[in-house]
Amino acid sequence: MAQINIADAMGKLPGPLAPEQPLHDVLDRFTNERADALPVIDADGVLLGVITATDIEQAITNPRDGLSARSLAREVPEIRADQSLEDAVRALATTDQEGLPVLDSDGENVIGWLTHRRILRAYHAHLNTND
């Protein structure tokens, strides 16, 4: 896993949520898409955090006025495209997230999404090409 870069395993970034999107818009996205988590990215492309389906369930159960994507977003471990899958596994192990946003090598722009399943696929493909 140390020989495979995150860039080789990551997938397409789910459509990000804007920070000002209200709870009902966020709920619409989760009910209309097959995503367990969505990134919140501001107009400058800065990652503000990730919202999970569990976060939405809790927000619905304990509603408060003025909930937005920004207020629901949680910080997540930072992973970069040039890091190894070993680094990614460590990052995913520290959180209960289904996936994590992947930043470019400079750590400035979100360029992809990495899930446990994508890590396994990349590792499996690597094993098959090195047999």
Write down the domain spans for the chain.
Answer: 6-129
Residues 6+ apart with CB under 8 A from 4: 84, 85, 122, 123, 126
pLDDT tens figures, 31-81: 998 888 999 999 998 999 999 999 999 998 887 888 999 999 999 999 999
Whether the per-residue pLDDT at 130 is higher than 80: the answer is no
Residue 89 has pLDDT above 80, yes or no: yes
Question: What average pLDDT does range 93-100 have in this prediction?
Answer: 87
Beta bridge partners of 49: 40
- Which pair of tokens denotes residue 92? 């995913």
Average pLDDT over residues 1-14: 91
Q: What is the DSSP letter of 98?
A: S
Q: Which CATH number fits domain 6-129: 3.40.50.970, 3.10.580.10, 3.40.190.170, 2.40.50.140?
A: 3.10.580.10
The model's pTM is 0.86
Contact at 8 Å (CB) between 35 and 99? Answer: no
Considering the chain, what is the average pLDDT of its residues? 91
Residue 71 is predicted with a pLDDT of 94
